[in-house]
Amino acid sequence: MIIPVERLSPQALNGLIEEFVSREGTDYGQTQHSFAEKCSQVRVQIERGEVQLVFDPDTETSNLVRREELT
């Protein structure tokens, strides 16, 4: 189920972005970026609609997923 990010408080959205960025195995290519830069990049992708927030009611978990992965 896709959840509009506008339904989240700014604090909740920040928490989701930070949790996503801090996951092991997140790949940003050969260039090194700070944690803040990575969070900013994800936020821009969300604002552009490239990344969607999804919620799985069976596992009661949320995740950030690229839009093309949802189709």
* pLDDT reported for residue 20: 93
- Contact between residue 53 and residue 2 where contact means Cβ atoms under 8 Å apart: yes
For the segment 20-67, what is each residue's pLDDT rounded down to a tens digit?
Answer: 999 866 566 677 888 999 999 999 999 999 999 999 999 999 999 999
Could you tell me the pLDDT band of residue 71, with boundaries at 50, 70 and 90? confident
* pLDDT reported for residue 31: 77
For residue 37, the tally of other CB atoms under 10 A from its CB is 13
Block residue for tokens 């949790």: 19
Q: How far apart are CA 7 and CA 62, in angstroms?
A: 14
Specify the pairing of strand 2-3 against strand 61-66: unpaired
